[in-house]
Chains A and B, each alone.
Chain A
Amino acid sequence: MSASKGQPKFKTREAVDFVIIGSGAAGGVLAKELSTEGFSVVVLEQGPYRTAADFNHDELAVMYKNELMNHPGWNDPQTFRRYENETARVKRGGPPPALYARGVGGSSVHFTANYWRFHQSDFMERSLLGPMQGTGFADWPIGYEELEPYYSKVEWQCGVSGQPGPFEAPRSRPYPLPPLPVKSSGVLFDKGARLMGLHPQPAPMAILSKPYKGRPACINCGFCMGFGCESNAKSSALVTMIPLAEATGRCEIRPLSTVFQIKTNAAGRVTEVVYLDSEGQEQAQKANAVILSANGAETPRLLFMSESARSPDGLANSSGLVGKYLMGNGHSVTQAAFEHPLNEFKGVQVTRIVHDYYENDPGRGFYGGGGMDARPFLDSTPIMFSQSGLPHGAPRWGLEFKQMLRHYFTRKMAVLGSTTSVPLLRNNITLDPNLKDDKGRPAIRMTYMDHEDDLAMATFLQDRAVEILGAAGAAEIWREPVEGGDIQAHLLGTCRMGNDAETSVVDKYHRAHDVRNLFICDGSSFVSSGRGQPTMTIQALAFRAAEHIARFARAGDI
């Protein structure tokens, strides 16, 4: 664990131009862009400053002890309930409901690195399809065309490997890197999909297929999902944006800094950010402006914790929509085993995807769309596989169990379907009224149950997956049940953007409607969920936001 050398050390009692809360996919981009533009920036990150040397293949530590996700200093529990009339509870063991990494680079350090662009329709489905009663179904205040240059920026500045597919929206530049080498799961998925008349394509991945910008190509070690990359081939904010921010000499990264309040003055302007430092001491960093990029769960939590007499329901929450409309993307998993070894433990998770069902189709009888991909999913690593990798009804112990472990580990793959999530007021992040962390901060309380259309779409994709895997010649196929989940890794929509201050939290430049010098940019800004794989869009939004925020700052309009 080591922090970079040569950073400036700003005084907490002297205002910097920007404090950015969170160093992940969005915060990393904003830090790099704004410091490059000449502004002084302090980034507060609650996790430690790890580097590639700190990452390993310790499945027990990463997947079961949640080493990359736990708060580094103290117990910070979360509670979960499906509906608001239930009592939220802390789960016994396992990952927390809001699943995110803590550390410089945020969740981009441990993500799988699927990097689909959104399609044009994702930004305007309310206009295309009409209203959905009882939901927050709405258009974005920006369209794909406005975001496209920033998608290209992400691809070229961070390093994305891929090849345009037949359903992709227009792009101004090609991918900077060719697709990663196809795995057996990709070959089989490709074969089955083509036999079904579909159009599989190489998966866009934020992992380097060739050396790029001083970083090496992927070594196919197989430890991507949930793990940090030991070779720096995964294009996390940690290795793409943070070093460039530090190189400006105007950006100070402060790891192990847990924010618990954004303070405002009588005029309603943000003045400073209060946090606990690595020693557990309270600090307050003054700032001319604050950018909140803490993720779709921590961001609303902080806004609620920053309530004041002027903002009794939470900072920037005059709309009442802070924390609301949480979207996580629905999913279905279809498993298959083949005659010969696939060895899915090697290489990146995903090498082929299908977007034929991306768009809404009224003929299905429900709203939604989705993407599909081939991957080992949870069974690429040995302990996870031994827990849940065998077909349903398989023995759990004994000689037959042992023989099945031996047979299936190398022969398995899965097709993951990822869907839209209908934005619902009932799905949200709030502060738990009864539970606090060890430092007295109210715990995150997640309330979440997928909309019936999300589950229907996930089931539809599972039906197609069964057909594809059958066409590919699978020896066995089995379905995991499609039900509501209580763990969300995509934390979207909880401070949605919009033009109307009564129906959104931030404007189209990510400025809080209520607070002129507060900006919010992360997954919480989303108006719709897309079809999974949101990080690409989070980073495109961050590049765009940085450009506008810098413009405002230069004009004294903050």
Chain B
Amino acid sequence: MTIPIKSRRAFLSSSACVVGTSWLGINMPLLLSAGEIAGANRESEAAFKNLSPRDAIEYAALVNQIIPPDETPGAVDVGVVYYIDYVLGDFMAAASPLLKSGLEDLQGRTKSANPAVGYFSELSFEQQTGVLRLVEDTRFFGALHFMTMCGMFCLPSYGGNRKNAGWDLLGFEHQHVWQPPFGYYDAAVHGQTPVQEDEQ
């Protein structure tokens, strides 16, 4: 079959920074155990391994722009910065130069627009949004967006998706066994009364 073009574009762009990963197939057990360590680091709020303290602060501001906190956790709460810290030392290490140059560019734009401010993270949330709009079509933002989505919705062992908070946002329940009815519209077929969402 052909992967249709629209979905494929998104699929590919989202995968664009996963390069040079052919070794992953043979190293997966090691990678997974490393991932579990990433999860443990997040839980213990251990020091970042690959991000400088300054970078961690900037990434925190950036990923919270992509998934802000509201009544539910934002990207930082979910552990996305820990996820980024982990993957930049692992299978997405190749994306480091892109992120580094992108972050430098972003800081330059921040200072140009707001000379009194030293860093993107020091802008107000609304000001950050305005600066980020200037770069939202760049490869830097694409990579950051992809990493944020992965950090939000990956297995928690990678360091993100803390306490399944990313999945909770979507309504995705991770369990291995389901029985019908699965959703509202197949309930009657399976002999049950459809359940409204707020009752579920």
Contact = CB atoms under 8 A, between A and B. Distances in A.
A347 interface: yes
A550 to B, nearest CB: 32
Contacts of B120: none
B172 to A, nearest CB: 5
Nearest to B83: A60
Given A94-B15, A341-B171, A387-B14, A398 B65 contact: yes
Given A383-B154, A386-B152, A184 B169 contact: no
Contact of B6 (A92, A481, A484): A481
Given A67-B24, A387-B149, A183 B183 contact: yes
Nearest to B185: A184
Nearest to A489: B1
Given A70-B22, A386-B149, A486-B8, A342 B183 contact: yes
Contacts of B196: 340
Given A93-B17, A340-B196, A402-B169, A490 B70 contact: no
B156 to A, nearest CB: 11
A188 B15 contact: no
B68 A402 contact: yes
B2 A487 contact: yes
Contacts of A187: 185-186, 189
Contacts of A222: 178
A342 B185 contact: yes
B116 interface: no
A488 interface: yes
Contacts of A188: 185
Interface string A336-379: 00101111111100000000000000000000000000000110
A73 interface: yes
Interface stretch (A236-244, A284-292, A303-311, A403-411): A403-411
A382 B184 contact: no
Contacts of B129: 398
B154 A60 contact: yes
Interface stretch (A6-14, A147-155, A160-168, A324-332): A324-332
B113 interface: no
Contacts of A95: 3, 11, 15
11 contacts: A60-B154, A92-B16, A182-B190, A230-B176, A340-B185, A378-B3, A397-B65, A401-B66, A481-B5, A484-B5, A485-B3
Considering the complex of A and B, which 6 residue pairs feature the smallest CB-CB distances, nearest first?
Answer: A485-B2, A388-B10, A184-B183, A340-B184, A382-B153, A184-B185
Interface of B: 1-8, 10-12, 14-19, 21-26, 28, 31-32, 65-68, 70, 72, 91, 129, 132, 136, 145-146, 149-150, 152-155, 158, 166-167, 169-180, 182-186, 189-190, 194, 196-197, 200
Interface of A: 48, 57-61, 64-67, 70-76, 91-95, 99, 102, 181-184, 186-188, 219-222, 230, 328-333, 338, 340-347, 377-378, 382-388, 392, 396-399, 401-402, 405-406, 409-410, 418, 450, 480-490, 532
